[in-house]
Structure 1
Amino acid sequence: MTRTVSRNSTTQRDVTRIAAVHATDSACGAPRITAELNDGAGEQERVNHKRVARVMRAHHIAGIRLRRRVRTTVPDPDGQLVPDLLERDFTAHAPNTKYVGDITYLPCGAGQFLYLATVIDCYSRRLVGWSIADHMRTDLVADALRAAARERGSLAGAIFHSDHGGQYVAKDYTALCERLGVTRSMGAVGTSADNAMAESFNASLKRETLAGSHGWPDATTARRVVFAWITRYNTRRRHSYCDYLSPITYENTHYAATLATAA
């Protein structure tokens, strides 16, 4: 009897904790809820993702997903072959040496979409350059790279990794990379894991801004919300990869340590 009461008590405690995480972010499924519950938890409080999934099913707690997936990667069969220089190594020894980028869609009601192109630093996970437009032409990714170059002052010597989307193999984009001194890198066609870091950024942005809804009411709202989130992401949002510092704080820590070593 005591064992049954204890088991029921543990289950109810898990239900309460899982429901609390789900209430703050209804897009979360079992893996992300498990990670949240185990973050900073003691040995006796840690839970297995299979148990979380069972509890969620039993109590009808489900993560919300966007219903429609929009294809943003359209390979160009005539595009130049570019080697994969990262080989899924999304680390860097210093800022402004390795970047990843991608295009993701932003649903804006009535079946309309905006598109966000990103340039993300592998060292700090900082979004250094980005561009939003109502099209996926080459200008979209070129504007994001130019924004990164303005922010850094120079991208000379840096690697930029992307998928094989037609925008990234276009002649104009290739020429821009050459002018900026950027070396291109690309993963295999149709293999999202080769650009997992950029994909993860996209997922975080949508999960935290859409909060379970299927889109913003209009393009103006989408731009405003995404801009606010990006500002918070770079300056205040704690990132697990950055020892739970914000990306910009993490970079500043690197620069401070470098100066101290040189002094």
Structure 2
Amino acid sequence: MSRSAYYRYRRGKSYRADKKYNRPKHEVEKEFIQNHKRYGSRRIKASLQEKGIIISRRKVASIMRKQGLRAIQPRTFVPRTTNSRHGKRVSPNLLEAHPQVTKPNSVWVSDITYMPVKGGKWAYLCVWLDLFSRRIVSWRLAETCRKFL
């Protein structure tokens, strides 16, 4: 024990580590829980700085490690719209017969893609394109890929 700590104790002003060291622990844990256990050290540090609490990312990471707080990492989901291992024959390329499109509305092509939307769901977009003008002729949005068939 240092001499200054002893005399501070004698004067009734004992050193309290709670204010200096335990406050960040509580703030980090509170921020972690408020964000549904999704925030890691970088986001928690940024969030605390917005609230006026200055703390380093390494300190936040250290607190999280000691408290056993680990951010939930959701699995990335990529919808599978094509079965490439079906073993069936592949449709022939009908555009080989039309190397150059010379007039509008003679050749249309289509494709389906998917887009993430709120709530962890997906929306499927089907687009028809005129090869001559390279403009979209039609499009349709659906919740499932089956609705286009």
Normalising by the smaller structure, the TM-score range is 0.3 to 0.5
**Which of structures 1 and 2 has the bigger CA Rg?**
2
Higher helix share: 1
TM-score, normalization: structure 2? 0.46
TM-score, normalization: structure 1? 0.28
Higher strand share: 2
